[in-house]
Structure 1
Amino acid sequence: MRIISKLLPASKLKLVISVIGILALVLFSWFILFEATKAEVVISDNGEKQTIDTHINTVGELLNEVGIVVSDHDVLSHDKNAAIENGMTINYESAKQITVTIDGNNLTYYTTADTVGDFLTEQDLSFTAHDIVSHKATESTADGLQIDVITAYQVAVHDGGKEQTVWTTGGSVADLLNTNEIKLNEHDRIVPNVEEMVNNKTTISIVRVDKMVDEVNENVSFTTEKQQDSTLFEGEERVITQGQDGVVVKKYEITTENGIEVSRELVNEEVKEASINRVIAVGTKKPQANQGIVTLASTSSSGENLVQTSTGGNTLTMTASAFTSKCDGCSGYTATGIDLSANPHMKVIAVDPNVIPLGSKVWIEGYGVAVAGDTGGAINGNRIDVHVPTKADAYSWGVKTVQVKILDS
């Protein structure tokens, strides 16, 4: 001012000072007015708020000024071209990149969801309780988050003839069995092998194999042996030993598959009671001319024939068949009233009464001494029917030609 005062006269100096004062006042007033006309805007940047006074015209210009770059996936409450208004609140939320890998396939998403559950719902991604998801629904999202998902599938299991389906996300057959509490027994068979890996085309088949031992008592039929006896006449027989069936204990290993028997193997055999053979004495003594012939007198309590001698009579050549009292429709009684059912070893023949009178004692070749005690519709002429204890004996006798000697009548 001193320099200016030396250069200017006093009147001019006063004028300059006045002008400067006016300019300062104008500038101050303009500044006050400029500040007073700024719009107050609140910017929420991912939840962090800041208040800005600005003369900027649009939302986009304001965001650029504060260094916020909005990408295509971010969320902005206003259009970038929207005009700035006093009291405006601008909400900005940046999107987080999340990678979801489903069964090895990568998918990239952008979201502003706060939790994994919200993100999956937002993207319409749903998984079952059998699927394996690397993150829980309640976990928070973050930029660069990697979510891995293995989806489950069903596998058919044919177990012992029954079919079921189970869920799995892979692994070996053994893993699937353990997860579903399916146990294999010692002899069971399974396809595929427990070490093989399963996939969505796998079908598992289990054959339930059981082995058990069955003990069976079996009768062993006695055999009949004949012994020659020179004290008995030809054709005469006498039971020495009746015979008794034996018992053998057999143990079988039985194998079943799915409850059905597939094999039965004899693993042990033990005689519990030995059989006793039936022994019959067969006469070899030949009758002499005009000598006594053995004839039936009675039957002892043991069933053995007792014999005595008698004088001889006529000899006939006859056809002989055999019968038993146990035939179908037979009463067990003969025409003369003999109860053959009660006396199965009694020697009786059926005759034609016109040839051999009923009640006659006779000797039959290969049969012995008997009584003519019965008749038959097919027994006519030189035809007889000899009584034997069983059907097997009758079949064994068959039909034969024999010599028949009438001892008395």
Structure 2
Amino acid sequence: MNLKTKLLPVLKSKWTMSIAAAFAFVIVAGFVAFEATKAEVQFTHNEETETVVTHANTVEELLTELDIEISEHDELSHTLEDEIESEMEIVYQEAKSVTLVVDDEQSSHYTTEDTVEDFLNEIALEVEDHDEVNVDLDESIEEDLEITIDYAIEITVEDAGEEENYWTTEETVEDLLETEEIELDELDEVEPGLDESLDQDLTISITRVEEESEVVEESIDFSTVRRNDDSLEEGTEEVVESGSEGTVEKEYLIRIENGEEVDRELVSEDVKEEAEERVIAVGTQPVQETVSRGGSSSNDEAPSSGNTMTMEATAYNWNCATCDGRGRTATGYNLKENPDGVVAVDPSVIPLGTRVYVEGYGYAVARDTGGAIQGNKIDLHMRSNAEANRFGRQTVEVQIVD
């Protein structure tokens, strides 16, 4: 065996050992290199932080390693292309879906904010104290959270003339009144109606209505009846029956609005006492003298005999300021149609129906009385207030004719 043959096995063994050593070196070198490329980062996901050791070169690769898929609404502290560095802090906030209903109008949103208040600030939506929100403003945002907001409007309530303003989220007039504990009685009236919808700056008017029953006693005027009497001279009258007023009891239904009476309706009436007629005898026996204007006879001369009295005479007309305007005397005589030859007397001095002659006035008949006519006083009826003013008040001689 030559030397070459002897050395060949030895050489093969050494070569094999060299290859193995080289291979081991490569593995060790690769492991060292692999270990050298590891990075330790702080990764915060939805406010939970953990330490992550990664061989990823970029943020996008890291997220892929963590099986995280970024949506357009999510929030990431770095761009996907940023290279991974040791001690790096990466924050990822996953967006949550929120349904927002504002005054019955619905919209969908995504947010990474922590609370309801933060979310509303994010979308620039203001909420005042009077507005109604279905969740607390400091409540945390959860996936698929529904937030309902009803904005309050200002309403004016005018209750029996008194005004007060209310902020409300109610929908109808009736709902507002119930919420504010404004009670209505059966007869009260509301404008607009209870089922009307509420609008900003609406004024609701409430009329408080009451109905009361009132019973009053009223007098019944008596009527006057004239009957011809041939025992009396023509132109004279005599009260046969003075007459008297009756009484009637009337029941009224009174409507009161906001404390003031606005209507009165007669419901029933009951006559308690009938009125008695005034009966006046009208003379029909012809007389020689014919009474003309001012009560004078055709020759206007005083009678030759009869009882004569000195009296204070005052002229008046039926349409004077203090008269009742009816133009009727105490005996029922119509002064409007028969203005001449009528005097008012004190019946205890000159009985009604007495024919007299008045100085400066002429013949007349006592057909009237007056509260101020007492004793030797007499009132002379003139055709007009102007004539009465001209006569004024005078002292005259009054002669009783019959």
Specify which of 334, 338, 354 is matched with residue 367 of structure 1: 354
Whichever residue aligns with residue 213 of structure 2, its letter is V
Correspondences of 1:150-161 after superposition (within 5 Å): 150-161=150-161
d(CA) in 2 for partners of 1:384 and 1:323?
A: 13
Q: Which amino acid aligns with 2:184?
A: L
Please name the residue that 1:72 is paired with: 72
CA contact (8 A) 2:236 2:365 kept: no
Match of 2:185 in 1: 185
Residue of structure 1 in register with 2:148 after alignment:
148
Task: Tell me the residue number matched to 1:380.
Answer: 360
CA-to-partner distance for each residue in 1:130-177, whole Å, 9 max, x for gaps?
Answer: 434333324332233332333332344444344444444354432232
Cα distance change of structure 1 residues 211 and 406 upon mapping to structure 2, 3 Å threshold = closer
Shift of 1:277: 7.7
Report the counterpart of residue 338 of structure 2 in structure 1.
none
Number of residues of Structure 1 aligned to a counterpart in Structure 2 = 335
CA distance in 1, matches of 2:23, 2:130: 81
Q: What is the alpha-carbon distance in structure 2 between the residues aligned to residue 261 and residue 174 of structure 1?
A: 27
Paired amino acid for 1:111:
T
- Tell me how far 1:64 sits from its aligned partner: 2.7
Amino acid corresponding to residue 347 of structure 1 in structure 2? V
- The one-letter code of the counterpart of 1:208 is R
Partners of 2:200 and 2:360 in 1: CA distance: 88
Name the structure 2 match of 1:335.
none
Q: Which residue of 2 aligns with 1:253?
A: 253
Bigger Cα displacement from structure 2, 200-209 vs 219-228: 219-228
The aligned runs of 1:13-52 (5 Å cut-off) are 13-52=13-52
Counterpart AA for 1:367: T
Query: 2: distance between equivalents of 1:13 and 1:366?
Result: 181
SS in 1 for 2:68: coil
User: Measured at CA, do residues 36 and 222 of structure 1 come closer, stay the same or move farther in structure 2, by a change above 3 Å?
Assistant: same
Identify the residue that residue 82 of structure 2 maps to in structure 1.
82
Give % identity.
Answer: 39
What TM-score do you get using the length of structure 2 for normalisation?
Answer: 0.62
Q: Distance in 2 between matches of 1:253 and 1:365?
A: 45
- Which of 176-185 and 128-137 deviates more? 128-137
- In 2: Cα distance, 1:185 partner to 1:381 partner: 71
* Aligned residue type for 1:366: G
Q: Tell me how far 1:259 sits from its aligned partner.
A: 3.6
CA distance in 1, matches of 2:140, 2:175: 32
Which letter maps to 1:345?
A: P
Cα 1:94–1:366 shift into 2, 3 Å? closer
C-alpha change, 1:161 and 1:396, in structure 2 (3 Å) is: farther
Tell me how far 1:324 sits from its aligned partner. Answer: 8.1
| Equivalent residues of 2:188, 2:208 under 8 A apart | yes
Residue matched to 2:348:
346
Distance 1:365 1:102 in 2: 93
Separation (CA, whole Å) in 2 of partners of 1:147 and 1:382:
106
Cα deviation, residue 387, structure 1: 9.6
Deviations 1:248-304, CA, capped at 9 Å, x for gaps: 54332221333443221223445667778889999999xxxxxxxxxxxxxxxxxxx
Q: Aligned with 1:71: secondary structure?
A: coil
Q: SS of the counterpart of 2:114?
A: coil
Q: Is the 8 A contact 2:316 2:381 kept in 1?
A: no
Alignment-derived partner of residue 57 in structure 1: 57
Give the secondary-structure state (helix, strand or coil) at the position aligned to 2:84.
Answer: coil
Q: Residue by residue, what CA displacement relative to the aligned partner does 1:352-371 show, whole Å, maximum 9, x if unpaired?
A: xxxxxxxxxxxx99317x9x
Query: Are the counterparts in 1 of residues 172 and 198 from structure 2 also a CA contact under 8 Å?
Result: yes
Stretch of structure 1 that moved more, 86-95 or 257-266: 257-266
SS in structure 1 at match of 2:214 = strand
What secondary structure, in the 3-state scheme, does the structure 1 residue paired with 2:121 have? helix
Q: TM-score scaled to structure 1, two decimals?
A: 0.61
Judging changes above 3 Å, is the alpha-carbon distance between structure 1 residues 20 and 282 closer, same or farther for their aligned structure 2 residues?
closer
Distance 1:43 1:399, change over 3 A: closer
Q: Is the 8 A contact 2:228 2:281 kept in 1?
A: yes
Structure 1 residues 81, 235: closer, same or farther in 2, change over 3 A?
closer
Q: SS at the partner of 1:9?
A: helix
On the 8 A contact 1:223/1:278 being kept in 2, the answer is yes
Residue of structure 1 in register with 2:293 after alignment: none
Residue 235 to residue 125, structure 1, CA distance change in 2 (3 Å): closer
1:142 partner SS: coil
1:41 is paired with a residue whose SS is strand
Partner of 1:116: 116
- SS for the counterpart of 2:147 is strand
Amino acid at match of 1:140: S
Does residue 216 of structure 2 align to residue 216 of structure 1?
yes
SS of residue in 2 equivalent to 1:79: coil
Question: Residue in 2 aligned with 1:265?
Answer: 265
Indicate if the aligned counterparts of 2:173 and 2:198 stay in contact, CA closer than 8 A: yes
Given that 1:230 and 1:284 are in contact with CA atoms closer than 8 Å, whether structure 2 keeps it comes out as: yes
What are the ranges of 5 or more consecutive residues in structure 1 without an aligned counterpart?
1-5, 286-312, 329-342, 349-363, 373-377
Q: SS of the counterpart of 2:120?
A: helix
Matches of 2:94 and 2:79, distance apart in 1: 15
Task: Supply the distance in 2 between the matched residues of 1:181 and 1:24 (Cα, whole angstroms).
Answer: 92
The separation in 2 between residues aligned to 1:150 and 1:273, in whole angstroms, is 70
